[in-house]
Structures are given as structure tokens and as C-alpha cells.
Amino acid sequence: MNYKNIFFPLYPVEHNGYTWGERLTLFSRLIIGIREILIGKNIRYKFIVLINIIKHLLFYFYNLLLFPVTILIYFFNFRFVHISSWQIGSYVHQLDTIIKQNKLNNKLRLILLCPNFICSNTFISKIYDEEIICIKNLISYFLFLPFIHNPLISIVPWDFETQNRNSIFNKIHRDFFKKFKKNTIHVKINNLQKKYFKREYKNTICIHLRDNYYKSSNTDRNVNIFTLKKTINYLLKKKFKVIRFINNKSKKLHIKNKNYSELVIKTEEDKLNQFLIINSSRLVIGSQSGVLNYNLISETPFLLTNAIPINNIMVVKKKDMYIFKKFKKKNNFLSLKEIISHNYHINPEKIKKGIKIIDNNENEILNSTKEILNLKKFTINSKLKKKYSSSIKKIGASYTNAKISNYFLSKNRMII
């Protein structure tokens, strides 16, 4: 265990032992925690549960003691943003969506506690520092930390989390693009680009997949990189440069071409360079991983492959495209209606015995890539498109501005 995590906030979205939901109340945490400490078998997890109970108790009594301060904060319309800033994807996903929701509706004065030690990407706060009050000072962090757990003066991201059956994630982003034609953070991003980055990547395709390195967490979102090899070779033949972002444990593809490279992302400088390359490239091909959330702040088109779960579609721009994983029972694929009725669009990890999750194959990825790059057109009849739209109209994904691949729809009409 990394002991600095003791000084992190509690999670804003938590599991109660049965399902994911909004952060736990103190009473709920005590009940769940006592049960885990008494009958749980994982010693490490018992320690984490105990630490979280102690932290929650301290935060609770601190807020009681400073209740008059809480009232002042509330009536002056200040709100602390409670997000998982230590997770690459959640940091951008939660922060960006809360800010957009606030600009659409509330007009509150938002406060983000973001000392470097709790942030996965330290440059993110620089992008948003005109939209939200960013507090990096360590002493201020510890003084204000209990306040982000006070429901009266804090905002949590549950309303737009994928596990929320009534998620409004895609709706928020659609409504924001309708109301605000220009996103002010792009000015900040362009300034970062000019300051730190001089190279051109207009003919570059970026690739980032959640590979089999991620074994300690849910593996449903993992992707076999070799399903993308056909696409990479095609792009290289078309004279594109291809950059794949990897970690130290990722499998290498060993493609011998001067226009193909694999960049290991380790340091904060690497993370900034990764984002700036993405932001200046022609296209990003990815899966449901932390890096995918740069889609919310970059104007570069994204092709989301192997989307799962699909309650939210994690690409939001009109020039984005997506295809998703399928569910197979014996020799038949489950229809979208069946997927949604079984809640696999929210909790794919709870599939019944005999059902398999099927990755996108190499042709689905290749032809969707051709389609988003306008290198080949695939047409389908309007009835099929309407049928697909009707199939997802009851879930949050129906609001996305991104388009599903025509090729993918035509080849998988049996599930619509």
C-alpha cells in the first residue's frame, strides 16, 4: 500500500458491497466497515476500511466544529469539488463535466483541492484555473479537506457516472456544445501547446488501448493490441505516422517502420507531452481507458473502439466515432434490448454463466478507422440507423454527439 494515500480524500463514488453509488454516509460506512472488519478475509482491505472509517469520523467532527464556517461558504455560493483526481481518467472526466454542468445551470463558485501529490496529471489544473479556484498549497489542502466531504458545500460526480442508471453525462456535454460554441479552456490548451510544444503532428495517428497489463482491476475493458495491427499497417502504407502510448509492461508490436513508434509514459513531463501530441494529431484510436477522457478537452477526433460499458459513450464530439463490444451466448449475439434489460450496459462484469464478452475484430477497427478518416464511405439505410437510435433511447448514451460507425452497424445488424 502507498501510505501517502492515507492523506487522500475518500472516494466520491463508492461500492457498498453490492453495487456502485454515491459516496457513503458516515452511518453506512460504519455498518459496512464493521461487517468487513469482523467477517472479511483480506487483511489489507480491512486496514483500508479502518483507515477510511477513522478519516470519515475526523471529517464529520471537524465539520460539526466549524459549522458556522460551513454556513458562510454555503451562502456565498462556494462549493468544493469532490473528485478522484488521483485517477487519470476520473480527474478529467469528473472535473470537466462538473464545470460544464455548473456553467449550464448553477453558476456556483467552484473550488478544487489539487496539490500535486493527489493529482494524476499536474497540468490539468493549469487548463482549468480560470474556470475553478485551484488550491495547491498543502496547508490549505489539509484545512479544507474535511469540507469536500460535507454534502452541504460539496459537489460529487455521481449524476454522470457510468454506473448510474440515470446518468446525464452525454446530455451535459451535448447541451454544453449547443449553448457554448467555443470552449474557453482551448485557449489555455493552445497556450500550453505554444509554450511546451513546437513539433507538428497533423499527419499522426495516436493509439492508446487499455491492454492486458491492467489485471488488478476489472478486466472487461482490456483489449488485445494485436487486433489493431492490421489497422496500424494500413495507416503506415497510407504514409501516416503512428504513435502508440504504452507503459513498461505493455506488449511490444515490433513493427519495423520508421513512421511507427511506441512511447513509454512514466513522468509528469511524459503525460504532458502525451496530451499535447494527442491535441495536435489527426486522430486518436483508443479504448475505454484514462487517456480516452482527453476527448473532453481536445479538439482532435477520437475513434473509441471496444466501448464497454455503454451506459455512457465516452466520446462526445460530432467528429468522434465509436464501436462497442458485444455479448455472445453460445452461437448467438445478445441484442441491444437484451443487453440493456440485463443491465450489461452498466455492469458487464455481472454477466451470467455461458455469456462471453466479444472484442471488436480487426476488420471492425480497420474499417471504422477508414470511415472516420474519410478514406472510405460506408452507407446504411436510414431504417437501421433509426432502429439503433430507438434501441438506446432509454439510456444516457442516446445523447452523445458522436456517431456510431456505419460499417459496424451494417455488419452487426443482428444485435440492433
pLDDT, one tens digit per residue, over 84-104 is 999 988 999 999 999 999 999
Residue position matching grid coordinates 440485463? 342
192 or 402, higher pLDDT:
402
Residue 40: is its pLDDT beyond 90?
A: no
Q: End-to-end CA distance of the chain: give it in Å, rounded.
A: 45
Query: Using one digit for the tens of pLDDT, what is the confidence trace for 112-165?
Result: 999 999 999 999 999 999 999 999 999 999 999 999 999 999 999 999 999 999
Backbone dihedral angles phi then psi of residue 243, each to the nearest 5 degrees: -115, 125
**The C-alpha cell that represents 45 in the structure block:** 482491505
Ranges 183-192, 259-268, 348-357: which has the least confidence: 183-192
> At a CB cut-off of 8 Å and minimum separation 6, what does 401 contact?
173, 174, 177, 316, 317, 318, 320
Question: CATH 3.40.50.2000 occupies which residues in the chain?
Answer: 197-415
Query: Using one digit for the tens of pLDDT, what is the confidence trace for 357-388?
Result: 999 999 999 999 999 999 999 988 889 999 99
pLDDT of residue 182: 76
pLDDT of residue 218: 61
Q: 3-class DSSP state for residue 231?
A: helix
Q: How many other CB atoms are there within 10 angstroms of residue 98's CB atom? A: 26
Sign of CA dihedral 294, 296, 298, 300: positive
Residue 217: is its pLDDT beyond 60?
A: no
Residue 308: is its pLDDT beyond 90?
A: yes
Residue position matching grid coordinates 464556517? 69
Is the domain 197-415 a CATH 1.10.10.10 member?
no
> Please, what is the average pLDDT of the chain?
92
Ranges 182-191, 293-302, 335-344, 384-393: which has the least confidence: 182-191
Q: How many other CB atoms are there within 10 angstroms of residue 334's CB atom? A: 18
pLDDT of residue 2: 67
Query: Using one digit for the tens of pLDDT, what is the confidence trace for 261-271?
Result: 999 999 999 99
Residue 248: is its pLDDT beyond 60?
A: yes
Cα maximum dimension of the chain:
67
3 or 231, higher pLDDT:
231
pLDDT of residue 333: 94
Picking from 81, 107, 108, 79, the residue whose alpha carbon sits closest to that of residue 94 is: 81
Picking from 65, 60, 56, 62, the residue whose alpha carbon sits closest to that of residue 30 is: 56
**The C-alpha cell that represents 297 in the structure block:** 478537452
**The C-alpha cell that represents 21 in the structure block:** 453509488
Q: 3-class DSSP state for residue 79?
A: strand
Stated as kind and residue range, the H or E segment containing 411 is helix 406-411
202 or 218, higher pLDDT:
202
